[in-house]
Amino acid sequence: MALHRILIVNSPYYQHISEELEAGVRDTLAESEDEIEIETIMVPGAFEVPGAIAMAADSGRWDGYIALGCVIRGETSHYDYVCGESARGLMRLATERRLAIGYGILTVENEAQALARARRSEKNKGRDAALACLEMLKLRKKFVR
């Protein structure tokens, strides 16, 4: 049984959605056969998630990261920039720095879609992000020395 230290970086811009995503993450990690230590930090928005993970990674305190948040399309192109750049930033961290990151930032058209994806009784994307992080930790252990 391995010990994994996981940092959840949560953007509570839509607090009720981010709380449900985090609950899905925590439920899933609690079911793991491995020992998991979890810490959560909050950032202002999805755009700040990659920067926070980069800073946290520099500390060497965590083995894996879970990025959570929600971006709902509005009337301007701001949505496109936030979605694209937050995803690009996380992908860059995963590929260039070999970080194990579970991606749980919802990018949706409206609140109903966000709730359907966040709710543990529905699509439970928090669970998906936690499982992705755990799988990437296994791969990291296998390939990165």
User: How many independent structural domains does the chain possess?
Assistant: 1
108-137: per-residue pLDDT in tens? Answer: 999 999 999 999 999 999 999 999 999 999
pTM of the model: 0.96
Residue 4 in tokens: 């994994």
Q: Domain with 44 in it: what CATH number?
A: 3.40.50.960
Q: Is 55 exposed, middle or buried (0-12, 13-18, 19+ CB in 10 A)?
A: exposed
Write down the pLDDT at residue 1. 77
In a domain, 79, yes or no: yes
- In this prediction, the residues of the chain whose per-residue pLDDT falls under 50 are none
Q: Is 124 exposed, middle or buried (0-12, 13-18, 19+ CB in 10 A)?
A: buried
In a domain, 145, yes or no: no
Considering the candidates 30, 31, 37, 78, report the single residue annotated as catalytic.
Answer: 78
16 is catalytic: no
Structural domain boundaries, residue 19? 3-139
Write down the pLDDT at residue 74. 87
In a domain, 144, yes or no: no
